[in-house]
Amino acid sequence: MYFGVQAMLLSVHGKDKNNYFRVVPTGNENYHLKMQQNNRITSLFGIDFPLIQAGMIWCSGWQLAAAVSNAGGLGIIGSGSMYPEVLDEHIQKCKQATNKPFAVNLPMLYPNIEEHIQTIIKHQVPIVFTSAGNPKTWTAHLKSHGIKVVHVVSSLKFALKAQDAGVDAVVAEGFEAGGHNGRDETTTMCLIPLVAKELSIPLIAAGGIGTGRGMLAAMNLGADGVQIGSRFIATPESSAHENFKQTVIETPEGGTQLTLKELTPVRLIKNPFYNEVESAYQRCATQEELQALLGRGRAKKGMFEGDLINGELEVGQISGLITEIKPAAEVVQEIIHEFREALNEQQQSKFQF
Ligand code: NDP
Ligand code: NDP
C-alpha cells in the first residue's frame, strides 16, 4: 500500500461534484484507473494524484517536472524564463526522463510566445497551463492540436472568462501565492468557494498550499485538486540557485510581501532589493522610477544566480512552513500521506459536534 495507509475505500459525503481520489488496496489491477476515474483532475490529465507542481520561472526546468510526474503528480516546465531553444531542450529532456504526462506553463506576456507554441506542438506536449493574459488568444489553437489547456486566474470574473474561452480547467490562485499575483488580494480561502460555486469545469486551487492538510482544506473548499509551487523550490531537482533554496527554507512567517502593484504585482522575500523598493514607495516614487529601479532580469539574478541582495526572490507565504530541502518525489509522497491522514481524522470526532 502506498505510504502505509490502511487498505480501505474512503467515501466522502456530499462531495459528488469534486470527489476526492480514493484510497484503494495495492495489488488491485485497476488501481491507477480507479484513482484517475474518481477525481476530475486525475481523470483529465491521466495522473495518479490531483497534485500539480506549478510552473515557476527559473525554478522549474525539466528535472523538477519529470520528478513530479514520475511521482504521480503533474510536473510543469516554467517556460516564461526560457529562450525558445532552451524550452525545446527542456521538453526533449523531460520526455526522455518520464513517460508520464507533463505540462508547460506559458505566461502570455512572454515576448516570443508563438515560437514557444510551435515548440510545444512540435513535441506533442499533452497539457499547457497559460497565465497572465487572455485565454481566448491561444486556447482554440492549442486544443485543435489535441492539447489540454488550463488557465491560471486570480478572480471569479477571470475564471468564468477562461471557462467561456473553452479551457479544460482553471487554476484559481489566492493572495498567499509567490511570484505574480492578482491585484485584488483575494485569499485562497475566499477565492476557491466563490469560484467553485459558479464554475462547471474542474477547479485547481493554488496559493498558500504546501502540505497534505492544506491540500485537503482546498478540496473541502470545493477544488478538485491543487497546484503547489513554493514547496517544490526547496528540492534538489529545482533549477533554483542553492542560495535561493536555502533562503526559502529559512524564511519565516511574515517574511514575504506582495509589492510593485503599479507594475506587475509580485510576492517577494523581504531582502535588500525589496527594502529598496519599499524606500522608493516611502519617497513617493513615480511608476517610471519604480520601473527603472526594477530594471531587467531581477528574477534571474535572485532565483537562478543566487544574488540574495540585488535579486528578486519570488516565493509564497507558505515558505514559513517549508524547513527542509528534500527530493520532489518525497515531497509528493509526504503531501499525499498527510492528506490521507487528515482525511481519516476529518471523519473522526474532531469534526463532529
Ligand atoms: P544542465 O546541468 O544540463 O546545465 C546547466 C547549465 O546551466 C550549464 O550550462 C551552466 O552553465 C548553466 N548555469 C548554471 N548555473 C548558472 C547560472 N547561475 N547562471 C547562468 N547559467 C548557469 O542543466 P539543465 O539541463 O537543467 O539546463 C539546460 C539549459 O536550460 C541550460 O542552458 C540552463 O541554463 C537552462 N535553464 C533555464 C531555466 C530557466 O528557467 N530559464 C531553468 C533551468 C535551466 P556553465 O556550467 O557553462 O556555467
Ligand atoms: P524581465 O523583463 O525582467 O527579464 C526577462 C527575463 O526573461 C530575462 O532574465 C531573460 O533572460 C529571460 N528571457 C527568456 N526568454 C526571453 C525572451 N524571449 N526575450 C527576453 N527575455 C527572455 O522579466 P522577468 O524576469 O520579471 O519575467 C520574465 C517572464 O516570466 C515574463 O514572461 C513574466 O510574465 C514571467 N513571470 C511569471 C511569473 C509567474 O509566477 N508565473 C513570475 C514572474 C515572471 P536573460 O537574462 O538570460 O536574457
pLDDT tens track for 226-239: 999 999 999 999 99
pLDDT tens track for 2-48: 333 333 333 333 333 334 554 444 444 455 555 566 899 999 999 99
Q: Which residues line ligand 2 (CB under 6 A)?
A: 57, 80-83, 107, 109-112, 131-132, 179-180, 296-300, 314
> pLDDT-derived band of residue 96, with 50, 70 and 90 as boundaries?
very high
Task: Kindly state if the Cβ of 243 falls inside 6 Å of ligand 1.
Answer: no
Nearest-atom number in ligand 2 for the CA of 112 is 18
User: Whole-number mean pLDDT of the chain?
Assistant: 91
How far apart are the two ends of the chain, measured CA to CA in Å?
Answer: 32
pLDDT tens track for 136-145: 999 999 999 9
With 50 as the cut, is the pLDDT of residue 71 above it?
yes
pLDDT tens track for 205-220: 999 999 999 999 999 9
Check: CB of residue 170 under 8 Å from CB of residue 201: yes
The domain segmentation of the chain, as residue ranges, is: 8-239+328-351, 242-318
Task: Kindly state if the Cβ of 305 falls inside 6 Å of ligand 1.
Answer: yes
Instruction: Count CA atoms within 13 Å of residue 242 on its CB side.
Output: 0
Task: List the Cα angle 174/258/279 in 5-degree steps.
Answer: 175
pLDDT score of 27: 47
pLDDT score of 351: 78
Grid cell of 92 as nine digits = 526533449
pLDDT score of 143: 98
pLDDT score of 97: 98
**C-alpha to C-alpha distance for 161 and 135, rounded to whole angstroms:** 8
pLDDT score of 1: 30
SS3 breakdown of the chain: % helix, strand, coil, rounded to 5? Answer: 45, 15, 45
CA of 293 to the centre of ligand 2 (A): 16
**CB 31: neighbour CB atoms within 10 A?**
14
**C-alpha to C-alpha distance for 339 and 212, rounded to whole angstroms:** 4
Tell if the pTM clears 0.85, that is, is over it.
yes
Task: Kindly state if the Cβ of 58 falls inside 6 Å of ligand 1.
Answer: yes
CA dihedral 162, 299, 94, 166 (to 10 degrees): 10
pLDDT score of 36: 60
Q: Please name which of 341, 67, 96 lies closest in space to residue 231, comparing C-alpha atoms.
A: 67
CA of 61 to the centre of ligand 2 (A): 14
**C-alpha to C-alpha distance for 199 and 203, rounded to whole angstroms:** 8
pLDDT score of 5: 31
DSSP run (H or E) holding 201: none
CA of 108 to the centre of ligand 1 (A): 23
pLDDT score of 8: 31
> pLDDT-derived band of residue 99, with 50, 70 and 90 as boundaries?
very high
**C-alpha to C-alpha distance for 29 and 339, rounded to whole angstroms:** 24
Average pLDDT over residues 112-120: 97
Average pLDDT over residues 90-108: 98
Average pLDDT over residues 256-262: 96
Query: What CATH homologous superfamily does 8-239+328-351 map to?
Result: Aldolase class I (3.20.20.70)
Which of 60, 89, 90 to mutate to test ligand 1, by most ligand atoms within 8 A of the CB atom? 90
Residue 187's Cβ-count burial label (10 Å; 0-12, 13-18, 19+) is middle
pLDDT score of 353: 79
With 80 as the cut, is the pLDDT of residue 305 above it?
yes
